[in-house]
Structures are given as C-alpha cells and as structure tokens.
Amino acid sequence: MNDALLDWYAANRRDLPWRRTTDPYAILVSEVMQAWLDRWSTAASLARAPVADVLSEWVGLGYNRRALRLREACEVVAKHGWPDDLTELPGVGPYTAAALGAFAFGRDTVALDTNVRRVFRRLGCELSPRAGEGPLFNQAAIELGALVCRARAPRCDACPLEPECAWDGDPEVQRRPAVRFEDTDRWVRGRVVAALAAGDALPAVEAERLERALQGLVRDGLVQRDGKSVRLG
C-alpha cells in the first residue's frame, strides 16, 4: 500500500511553502505565519523578542498561549540546540514532534494529524513508512486525507488505497452541536489581546466575562495588570 500511496502523491501533491525546506524552525511555524518568519527568521531571533511583540504578531492566529510556548521553545533551542526528543521543547506534543522529526530531520515517524487518523481509521489499519520514507510518506498521507479521504464527501473513486480499504461508507460519529465561538471565554481572551496589541480599549463585554478572561490571561502570562492598567506580556 505504501507504493500506491506514494505514487498517488507524486502525481497529485500541492506545492506548499513548508515542503520546500528542512529547516526545523521554518517547518514549525511556516504553515500559518509567513509574516512571522519574515520578522523572526531564526529560533534565536524569536528567543530574543519581547513577549509583547510576540503576542502582537500572533493576533488572529489562534490560541495566544501557543505564541509563548513557541518563544520558550526557541529559547531552549537558542541555548542548547534541537533536542533528540523534540517533546522536551515547550508546547511540542507528540504530533508536532513527529512532524518535525520527519520533515526536518528525515526520521521515519508518523505524524498523526486529524487527516491521517481518519485515513487509517477508514482503512482499517495503520501504515508506517519504510526506511528512509518518513518525509515523503507523511506528506502523502496528510495530502490524501486533505484532498481525497475527506471528512465529508470522500472521493473514494480517486483513492489509491480504495482496493484495500475496509470502510463501508457508514456515517461516522456525529459531532455534538457546536457552541457559538462568540459565547466562549476564548473569544473574549482573543479580543482582549487584539485590543491591547492595537492600543484600543478593552472589548465591551459583560463585566464578569471580561474579568474571567483577564484573570486567565494574567495566569497564563499573556498580560500584566497594575491596578486598572492592563498590558501585554
């Protein structure tokens, strides 16, 4: 099945920026943050950056705590280099470690993201790269899940693994009804950080929600409070 997967990938791969480098720092951030890489092109430069600048650049990119963990990881790299066990870096879990290991260091690890898990679940077994296939195998598996073995409307007729696939097309477990993002504490936290980064007033939300968000941001080291004054980092 590996050959079928890799042959399909060779004919169908997309040209994505992070596929043109083996620099581990670039791979860690380039999928979502090209402007970030333009500003801090190395782990060492990010490690030296003020926390407030890091958080300001991160606005709109998701969980703000990830920005701090990324900066902390780069501090470790700047001092000690990239560890053999990449999960020793702050904020780097099993998936990110496996992806970095494969794409940056050529390891034969399997990066189990949502797409790859879905492919393996439907296939009825887990594939693994043969010796030396780590980077190409992972790119191919992720691409297959993104383009063909999609969560909705999978294109089974275009799948190179269809002859071996165990999935019978039954609907998968349905997700619980989603809570509106605007009703979550995460939304308020994001609005607070964005406002502070832009120099604007704090968002006009219920006092209880705002206070809960501020307390959480202070606890996570994202903002500082001095009386009524609030600032990033």
Instruction: State pLDDT tens for residues 133-187.
Output: 999 999 999 999 999 999 888 999 999 999 999 998 877 655 566 678 788 888 8
Q: Per-residue pLDDT tens for 5-33?
A: 999 999 998 887 677 888 888 887 764 46
Phi, psi of 89 (to 5 degrees): -75, 140
Q: Per-residue pLDDT tens for 32-51?
A: 466 677 788 888 888 888 88
Q: How many domains does the chain have?
A: 2
Are both 70 and 129 inside the same structural domain? yes
Model-level pTM greater than 0.85? no
- Helix (H), strand (E) at residue 209: helix 207-219
Are both 54 and 92 inside the same structural domain? yes
What is the domain-level CATH number for residue 111? 1.10.340.30
Out of 31, 126, 172, 211, pick the active-site residue: 31
Q: Please indicate, yes or no, if residue 169 is contained in any of the structural domains.
A: no
Cβ neighbors of 98 (< 8 A, separation 6 or more) are 109, 110, 111, 112, 138
Are both 57 and 114 inside the same structural domain? yes
Are both 58 and 155 inside the same structural domain? yes
Instruction: Give catalytic status of residue 172 as yes or no.
Output: no
End-to-end Cα separation, the chain, in angstroms: 49
Are both 158 and 216 inside the same structural domain? no
Q: What is the CA radius of gyration of the chain?
A: 21
Amino acid type, 64: N
